[in-house]
Amino acid sequence: MTETLETIRYTADVVCLRGDDVLLIRRGWPPHEGELALPGGHVDPGETSRTAAARELLEETGVRVAAEDLGLIGVYDRPDRDPRGRYVSVAYAVTVAEGTVAQAGDDAAAVQWVPLTEPEAMAFDHAEIVTDARHHQPDAARR
């Protein structure tokens, strides 16, 4: 019997909360180009998912948070969650100050604060992650 090995990519996503709003990016390239998504991306060699989440938030939105302030929401590993192949993402939440300003960078075409009560369609399974963040309220999201 021949065993087929599956390539699994390791990523991190961030639910960044400011009051009753969540920070979303507008994706700058495929897949889901032009759609809203959470800031996030690949975990680089030598990084933890928590460190990668803080780095990706900064690169894509200009919002700087300490990795230790990120609270775990969960692990998302449904095999069909990304059209590029198998992606496993660790999602975190963090709450930032009311006056926090975000600016698009890296692969984000735009950023916007969106009311948590009015979620739009999002790329991948990011709407599910935001819903989970609202219900689980990790410690960092309550600060």
Mean pLDDT score across all residues of the chain: 91
pLDDT of residue 2: 72
User: Per-residue pLDDT for 131 more than 60?
Assistant: yes
Interatomic CA distance for residues 7 and 33, integer angstroms: 23
Interatomic CA distance for residues 116 and 81, integer angstroms: 22
Q: What is the mean pLDDT of residues 30-52?
A: 96
Backbone dihedral region for residue 46 (phi beyond 0: left; psi -120 to 50: alpha; all else: beta): left
Which CATH architecture is the domain 8-142 placed in? Alpha-Beta Complex (3.90)
Max distance between CA atoms of the chain, in angstroms, equals 59
User: Per-residue pLDDT tens for 69-101?
Assistant: 999 999 999 999 999 999 999 999 999 999 999
Confidence of residue 143 (pLDDT cuts 50, 70, 90): very low
